[in-house]
Amino acid sequence: MNRRILQLAVPNIISNITIPLLGMVDLALMGHLENKVYIGAVAVGSMVFNFLYWGFGFLRMSTSGFVAQAFGKRDFGEVMLNLGRPLAVALAGGLALILLQIPIATLGFWIIDSSTEVEALARQYFHIRIYAAPATLGMYAFTGWFIGMQNTRLPMAIAIMVNLLNIGFSFFFVKGLGMMSDGVAYGTLIAQYIGLFIAGFFLVRYYQRFFRFYPKSLLFEKKALIRFFHVNRDIFIRTLCLILALSFFTVQSAASGDTILAVNSLLLQFFMFFSYLIDGYAHAAEALTGRYMGSGSRTNLLKSIRLLFLWGTGVALGFTLIYFAGGSRILKILTSNPEILQASMPYFFWTVLIPLISFAAFIWDGIYIGATASAAMRNAMLASTLLIYFPAYFFLEPILGNHALWLAFVLFLAARGVSLTMMAPRAILPAKPTTTD
């Protein structure tokens, strides 16, 4: 079982690491420019895209759960239908985002209270990168489908190629052509469409034999669509709460001035780096949980959950030690601005606490997604956001200032892990005997 977990998790870890590294490279490119507003522009612009794209995160998450369960049942027709449905939604959603970009930008930058200069640059960044929407959402569907098929190597290959291309294009536009935050946006735009083409190529190259099972007439079958949208509705609400929490974090940072915005944006990269790595095990949990739920293997389901938490604990301990011992050196790689470095020091200890406090939420998310137990996952997120995160911040902010924002965020992460653990016996572990796989 450990071997299966690592075979699924390691490629996901490698591919996921490239995502925060890309964010770090973008911020580092901006951080070494003379004016600190470029850091804020990329942070604010990226926050708007986080809100948009993470809202469509169900295209990846539900797809992996549906496909893994269908694969466990050996229902290859349903396997193919669960690629066609999310791809259709991805295309329609991406085109809608492009058509609605002006009202989206107006609302997004109205909510974010940043300086005039930061907002102007962030708007420019947004109106360039928005044209990558169909490609970005399409890759969500492909990634979820490959994970559900127990193949994490192809998403790894796609992610590495896309993010290396993205970094290369960004360096070329910023360092070679003298562009600023707009150069980073163009780098992302071009790389995303190349990535979509690569994903389609891999589908045809490695899974063409499954095309003959594709019952096209059932693509819009009513009962299946109702289940598809019910699960995706719950995941959307769950993801919306997560976006709201992270967006609120950035909004409150921006309201505290450009320096605190830059500080919190850089320190949040430590959380993002850890989250994308531990998500490798969460993605392994999606694939294994869906497969064992589909095949009715309760014994292997319980065994995989236990081992996934052991691996998660080890990863969290490792990151805690790395951040404690070398976090200040990592921060100096991200920016050479002495004002930002000095202002970051009082808040750095929060980044050391986050791995051990948050890892359980990530592992449980993967398990719940694989089981398509979307309602329980939604309820846990709603409670953690509305009953813990916001009340903690508004109660403590007059006393602790920016520390209250970090404390509320840490409590939010802890509450997610605790609530998902409490609900797992009913949501994930049905008390009926099943076979082994």
Burial bucket for residue 3 (CB in 10 Å: 0-12, 13-18, 19+): exposed
- Phi, psi at 236, each rounded to 5°: -65, -45
| Domain assignment of residue 436, yes or no | no
Domain assignment of residue 337, given as a range:
2-427
Residue 380 has pLDDT above 50, yes or no: yes
Range among 171-175, 298-302, 372-376, 390-394 with highest mean pLDDT value? 390-394
Report whether 91 contacts 99 (CB < 8 A): no
| Domain assignment of residue 434, yes or no | no
| Domain assignment of residue 435, yes or no | no
| Domain assignment of residue 266, yes or no | yes
Residue 18 has pLDDT above 70, yes or no: no
Token digits of residue 378: 């939604």
Q: What is the pLDDT of residues 322-332, one digit of tens each?
A: 988 887 788 87
| Domain assignment of residue 437, yes or no | no
Residue 435 has pLDDT above 60, yes or no: no
Closest residue by Cα to residue 374 from 321, 427, 317, 302: 427
- Comparing 91-95, 114-118, 168-172, the range with the smallest average pLDDT is 114-118
| Domain assignment of residue 18, yes or no | yes
Residue 66 has pLDDT above 70, yes or no: yes
Query: Quick one: pLDDT band at residue 387, thresholds 50, 70, 90?
Result: very high
DSSP assignment of 18-47, as one string?
HHHHHHHHHHHHHHTSS-THHHHHHHHHHH
Token digits of residue 286: 């999606």
Give the count of domains, the chain: 1
| Domain assignment of residue 432, yes or no | no
